[in-house]
Amino acid sequence: MPRRLEEESTDAPEWSSKMLIGKKIVVVMPAYNASKTLEQTVRELPDIVDATILVDDGSTDETAQLAKTMGLQVFIHDHNYGYGRNQQTCYREALAKGADIVVMVHPDYQYTPALVTAMASMIGFEVYDVVLGSRILGGGALKGGMPLYKYAANRLLTAFQNALTGAKLSEYHTGFRAFSRNVLQTLPLLENSDDFVFDNEVLAQCICFNFRIGEISCPTKYFKHASSISFSRSVKYGFGVLRTTLMCRLQTLGIAHYRLFSSTGRKLLLDYYASSSND
């Protein structure tokens, strides 16, 4: 079960009236030591966003305090649980707020926040269920300074994943993503890893559950304060991707069955805090 967290911002604004085609759009930011780039990221979010939720995963800097002064809805983990656990909290809180479309934007300013409108529209008009901001389409990765070894690993892993899943995505490894409410309520996200491979597990789940995945070209920026995992953790992530993809293939062939890809797997519990207080 997800651990409880402390709600830091108690005076967050109510829903605005800036809905896109009648849909409430929530931006979620999984944050860890993002104080140097948070303000710039938030400043470039489009006006159609109804609310922005930041989940601080035990940062040691002023990320949470800064987010609160900017009017974001802030939730704080009592220590660093990991990127995957952070996302679980992000999505749970967004759904609890009544979001119809949830867009994950990393607060490190590596992706272009202005694309939130386009990504949300692709879901709002029911063209896709999931939309990815791809760094590969348009050559944005190398132009933006992605290290060559990461680019090469991205291309090799993506080719392997497309071959086994039958999908035709330009990349599986972007952190800029938009989801419909139905996707986040349907996927067994509590079966996923707390680590970085969470992202890849989500896309494998979307493929197994036959959700429509679209992509949009997204410029990206690699600079000093942009978050990046170490080489050793990148290797661990790569092996996690291979394992997840093989499991997905075995599931689709009916050779094996995993709770990670099962409709009976553990889903986000919107009443978790109320239920856990009665334990």
* C-alpha–C-alpha distance, residues 210 and 263, integer Å: 12
* C-alpha–C-alpha distance, residues 9 and 193, integer Å: 27
* pLDDT at residue 163 in the model: 97
| Amino acid symbol at 191 | E
Q: What is the pLDDT of residues 160-197, one digit of tens each?
A: 999 999 999 999 999 999 999 999 999 999 999 999 99
Q: Strands 51-56 and 73-76: what pairing? A: parallel
Q: What is the pLDDT of residues 1-26, one digit of tens each?
A: 344 455 555 444 455 556 678 899 99
In a domain, 191, yes or no: yes
pTM (two decimals): 0.89
Q: What is the pLDDT of residues 213-240, one digit of tens each?
A: 999 999 887 755 555 667 788 899 999 9
What is the average pLDDT score of the chain? 89
Order of all β-strands in the sheet with 213-217: 6-7, 73-76, 51-56, 25-31, 101-104, 177-180, 130-134, 213-217
- Residue 20 DSSP one-character state: B
At 202 the three-state DSSP class reads: helix
Question: Does residue 250 register a pLDDT over 90?
Answer: yes
In a domain, 1, yes or no: no
| 8 Å CB contact between 32 and 102 | no
Angle between helices 83-96 and 198-208 (to 10 degrees): 60
Residue 276: band (very low, low, confident or very high) from pLDDT cuts 50, 70, 90: very low
- Across 240-269, b (16+ Cβ under 10 Å) vs e yields bbeebbebbbebbeeeeebebbeeebeebe
In a domain, 113, yes or no: yes
* pLDDT at residue 244 in the model: 98
In a domain, 151, yes or no: yes
Q: What is the dihedral of CA 199, 204, 208, 211, to 10 degrees?
A: 50
How many structural domains compose the chain? Answer: 1
* pLDDT at residue 232 in the model: 82
In a domain, 259, yes or no: yes
Residue 15 is part of which domain span? 6-268
- The percent of residues above 90 in pLDDT, for the chain, comes to 77
In a domain, 279, yes or no: no
Q: What is the pLDDT of residues 84-130, one digit of tens each?
A: 999 999 999 999 999 999 999 999 999 999 999 999 999 999 999 99
In a domain, 82, yes or no: yes
Question: Does residue 60 register a pLDDT over 90?
Answer: yes
In a domain, 89, yes or no: yes
Residue 141: band (very low, low, confident or very high) from pLDDT cuts 50, 70, 90: confident
* pLDDT at residue 152 in the model: 92
CATH code of the domain covering residue 167: 3.90.550.10
Torsion sign (Cα): 269, 274, 275, 277: positive
* pLDDT at residue 275 in the model: 43
Instruction: Give the DSSP H or E segment for 116.
Output: helix 116-124
